């Protein structure tokens, strides 16, 4: 019976781990802004996941005795007009923004991939309207709620994803391995799923990452206009809507901190998306 040399296996595992970290270090040095964007995204995700543990107060709890309190040791980012802790609301708002961003991007990308692989004409109508305008129409029709906001933002993403997938499909169908698959009698649907789709994953990942920032900004815009996440749930856009006009002079922290949170989230996703494009797109290399 063969014996296992555990020391050798551990050295191999350590060598693979060292090589992996070395590659990540080199990649981070080549794409500094992308690494910064990734760090921002990781912090954003970890904040959303651990919101219940790092928030100091209940984000929905009203404290009239401490309304419009300036930032101090008790309330790190002050309180709003209802006495709710701004820090806690921003932390839990990250969870809502992440849910809307990932949910709408995943839903829109999934439907866009199916349409892009099969047919394209239906997307021309949807693509005629900007993302925010169509999202406004959808939320106005569906009503303000988290699932409706995800659906409303996902639908305008469908033609964007479908156009990219369709362009890659048209380029791939003339390649020799696609012709070989046709010559052996493989069906169009099987070719699309087995051969075309895997070769479109790289541009799809880049597009989805880039669109994540747009979805977060769109959700904030809808909430700012009163068509997004309803009260009393914390949303960065609604926090700005409630504070921008009435309290910007007497309580500027109500505008500054939600605005910084939105800017950092969008900035981080855009930086990381640009870095992914440079890494995964062969035309951007060298």
Pick 192 or 97 by higher pLDDT: 97
How many Cα atoms sit within 13 Å of 32 on the Cβ side? Answer: 1
Measured in degrees and rounded to the nearest 5, phi and psi for residue 55 equal -80, 140
Give me the pLDDT at residue 120, please.
58
Is the predicted pLDDT of residue 5 greater than 60, yes or no?
Answer: no
Residues 37/268, Cβ–Cβ less than 8 Å: yes
- Quick: pLDDT tens for 219-249: 888 888 888 888 778 888 888 877 766 777 8
What number is the average pLDDT over the span 48-65?
88
With the CA atoms of 105, 108, 110 and 112 taken in that order, what torsion angle do they form, in degrees rounded to the nearest 10? Answer: -130
Q: Both ends of the chain: CA-CA distance in Å?
A: 50
Structure tokens at 274: 């640009």
What number is the average pLDDT over the span 59-80?
87
Residues 60/92, Cβ–Cβ less than 8 Å: no
Is the predicted pLDDT of residue 46 greater than 90, yes or no?
Answer: yes
Give me the pLDDT at residue 12, please.
55
Among residues 137, 131, 140, 122, which one has the least CA distance to residue 104? 131
Pick 126 or 204 by higher pLDDT: 204
Burial class (CB in 10 A: 0-12, 13-18, 19+), 130: exposed
Residue 85: strand, helix, or coil: strand
Pick 284 or 142 by higher pLDDT: 142
d(CA 127, CA 214): 16
Residues written for the chain: 286
Burial class (CB in 10 A: 0-12, 13-18, 19+), 275: buried
Q: Which of 17-21, 79-83, 163-167, 178-182 has the lowest mean pLDDT?
A: 17-21
d(CA 195, CA 188): 10
Give me the pLDDT at residue 226, please.
81
Residue 272: strand, helix, or coil: helix
Domains of the chain: 87-284 (1.10.3720.10)
Give me the pLDDT at residue 89, please.
92
Which pLDDT band holds residue 126 (cuts at 50, 70, 90)? low
What number is the average pLDDT over the span 109-120?
76
d(CA 242, CA 245): 8
What CA–CA distances, in Å, run from 70 to 66, 80, 234, 247? Answer: 9, 9, 19, 12
The CA-CA-CA angle for residues 233, 236, 237, to 5°, reads 100
Give me the pLDDT at residue 21, please.
67
Of 127-131, 162-166, 168-172, 265-269, highest mean pLDDT: 265-269
Q: What is the residue-averaged pLDDT of the chain? A: 80
Q: Which of 3-7, 102-106, 173-177, 212-216 has the lowest mean pLDDT?
A: 3-7
Instruction: Write a three-state SS string for 18-80.
Output: HHHHHHHHHHHHHCHHHHHHHHHHHHHHHHHHCHHHHCCCCCCCCCHHHCCCCCCCCCCCCEC
Is the predicted pLDDT of residue 14 greater than 90, yes or no?
Answer: no
């Amino acid at each position: 019976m063969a014996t296992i040399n555990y020391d050798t296996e551990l050295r191999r595992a350590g060598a693979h781990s060292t090589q992996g970290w070395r590659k990540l270090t080199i990649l981070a040095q080549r794409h500094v802004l992308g690494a910064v964007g990734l760090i921002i995204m990781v912090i954003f995700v970890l904040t959303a996941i651990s919101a219940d543990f790092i928030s100091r107060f209940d984000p929905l709890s009203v404290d009239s005795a401490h309304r419009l309190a300036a930032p101090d040791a008790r309330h790190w980012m002050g309180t709003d007009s209802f006495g709710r802790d701004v820090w806690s609301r921003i932390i839990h708002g990250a969870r809502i923004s992440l849910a809307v961003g990932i949910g709408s991007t995943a839903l829109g990308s999934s439907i866009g991939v199916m349409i892009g692989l099969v047919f394209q004409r239906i997307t021309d109508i949807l693509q005629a309207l900007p993302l925010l305008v169509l999202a406004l129409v959808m939320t106005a029709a569906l009503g303000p709620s988290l699932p409706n906001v995800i659906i409303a933002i996902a639908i305008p993403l469908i033609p964007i994803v479908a156009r990219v997938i369709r362009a890659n499909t048209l380029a791939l169908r003339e390649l020799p391995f696609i012709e070989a698959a046709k010559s052996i009698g493989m069906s169009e649907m099987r070719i699309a799923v087995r051969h075309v789709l895997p070769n479109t994953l790289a541009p799809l990942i880049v597009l989805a990452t880039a669109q994540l920032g747009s979805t977060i900004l769109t959700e904030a815009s809808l909430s700012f206009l009163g068509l997004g996440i309803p009260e009393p749930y914390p949303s960065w856009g609604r926090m700005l809507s409630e504070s921008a006009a009435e309290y910007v002079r007497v309580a500027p922290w109500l505008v500054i901190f939600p605005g910084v949170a939105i800017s950092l989230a969008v900035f981080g996703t855009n930086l990381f998306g640009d870095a992914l494009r440079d890494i995964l797109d062969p035309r951007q290399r060298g």
